[in-house]
Structure 1
C-alpha cells in the first residue's frame, strides 16, 4: 500500500526580497505605506536574496544524489520561483528531477485593503481593522479582500492532499512564504492555535530557512511526517550569505 506521504519534505521560505528591504525603509521612516512599484506577486529577490538562495542550493548539492529533492513545488510569486531556480542552478536537485511545479495554493497570505500598509498606515487609514485584529488575533482576523491564517490553512490542506495522492514516496521541496511555513507546521504537527502562535512569537521564519520533515512509520497510527529541524540556516552561514529575518512587506504590519 502507498504510504501517502513524502519520504522527505523540505519547506523553505524564499530569500530576502526587495519588498523586505522596502519594508525596512518604510518602518525606519515611520511611513504609512511601503514603497513597492510591482504587484506583490512580481516582487523579486534582493541582491542578498539571490546570494542566500545560491548558498542554500549549494548545501542541497552537497547531499548525495539520492538524498536531494526530486520534486519541487513553489508559490507562483517571483521571489519564490527565483529561489527555487537558484537551488536548481546550484545543482541542489536529484538527477532526473522534473521541471518546477507552480502551485498557487502555496502563495503568500493575501492582505486585502491592508496591502502595503505599515502598522502606522493601518492605524491611520483603517483603525477599525487594527482594533478588530487586536480582538480576534491574527489566526482568525480576515481583512476585507484578504485572508486569515485559517484561510491559508484551508488551501494548504488541499495542497497536502494533492501531495499525498500524487507524490507519495518522493523527496519534495516546497518554496513559499513565512505564513505558509507556519501554517504547514500547524497542519503537519497537529498544533493548536496557541501552539503555532507561540512558535510565531519566538521570531520570524528566516529567509531561506529550512524546515525539514522525514517519513516515520511511528509518527501516526499509519505513519506520517516527523519534524527534523525548523528554521535551519547553517547552509547560509557556511556559504557566506548573511541571515535575514525580515517579515514580508505586507506581513510586517500584521
Structure 2
C-alpha cells in the first residue's frame, strides 16, 4: 500500500534565496555549490516554527520516518525542526533523489546573468517554457518527476503503513504533487498554478481507500 501519510516541507530560507532576492533584476553569479548553501537567520526561525507545528500534531498524525535531501539547507532544516519538536529522534534516510532541480552549467547564475552570458539559453528557456526546459547538464521538471516516481516506488515497500516526512526543495514539493496525482508529464506546465513553493511551507497527503489524497498544499499558517 505504501505510506499512510506524507508530509513534505521545503527548507527554510537559504543564503542563496536571500542573495537572489536582494539581486532582484541585477545579474548575480552565486559561487557557492548548491549542496553547500545553508540557512539564514530567518530560515532557522522558520525551521524551528515547523518543529513547533510537529509538536502540536496529534500522535496519530506525527511523522514516524524522515526522508531528507542531502543538501545542507534541507539537513539543517530538519535538525533545527527536530530540536524544536523535542520528540525522540526519528530514523532519517538521506536520499539523493530528493535533491533540488539541477541547473547544470547555469547553476551559478540568476536569470539576468544568464541573459548576459548565455543569451541563446535564455531564448531556448523562454521558447520551451519553464517545465520543459533542460539546462545544459541540468534537469527539466520531467527529469525530477522520474526520480520522484522511483522514490515513491521505494516508499511503498520501505514505509508501508507508516507516516513519512519529506524535507526537500521547492521543485521537489511541486513535482511531488504531480507524481502523487499520477498526472501525465505532458501536463507538467499546469503546476505553474501552484508555484511558488514557499520556504518552510507544508504539504500533506493522507491515504483514503488506498490512495494518497491531498489535504493541504504549500501551507504557511505555522510561520
Q: Same fold (TM over 0.5)?
A: yes
User: What secondary structure, in the 3-state scheme, does the structure 2 residue paired with 1:212 have?
Assistant: strand
- Structure 1 residue aligned with 2:11: 14
State how 1:18-167 maps to structure 2 within 5 Å. 18-27=15-24, 30=26, 32-36=27-31, 38-91=32-85, 95=88, 97-98=90-91, 100-167=92-159
Q: 1:202 deviation in Å?
A: 4.9
Unpaired segments of 5 or more residues in structure 1? 218-222, 237-254
Q: 1:88 deviation in Å?
A: 1.1
User: What secondary structure, in the 3-state scheme, does the structure 1 residue paired with 2:81 have?
Assistant: helix
Q: 1:132 deviation in Å?
A: 1.3
Unpaired segments of 5 or more residues in structure 2? none
How high is the TM-score relative to the length of structure 2?
Answer: 0.93
1:18-50 Cα offsets, whole Å, 9 max, x none, are 11111112225x1x22434x2110100100000
- Contact 1:68 1:92 (8 Å CA) reproduced: no
CA distance in 2, matches of 1:116, 1:180: 19
Q: 1:191 deviation in Å?
A: 2.8
- Contact 1:182 1:196 (8 Å CA) reproduced: no
1:152-181 Cα offsets, whole Å, 9 max, x none, are 111111111110111111110000001111
Q: 1:138 deviation in Å?
A: 2.0
CA distance in 1, matches of 2:129, 2:142: 11
How high is the TM-score relative to the length of structure 1?
Answer: 0.82
Identify which of 185, 208, 213 aligns with 1:216.
208
- Contact 1:22 1:34 (8 Å CA) reproduced: no
Q: 1:92 deviation in Å?
A: 6.1
CA distance in 2, matches of 1:224, 1:202: 21
- Contact 1:75 1:103 (8 Å CA) reproduced: yes
1:121-163 Cα offsets, whole Å, 9 max, x none, are 1112111111112222222211111111111111111111110
Q: 1:198 deviation in Å?
A: 3.6
Output the aligned Cα RMSD.
1.7
| Count of residue pairs the alignment pairs up | 223
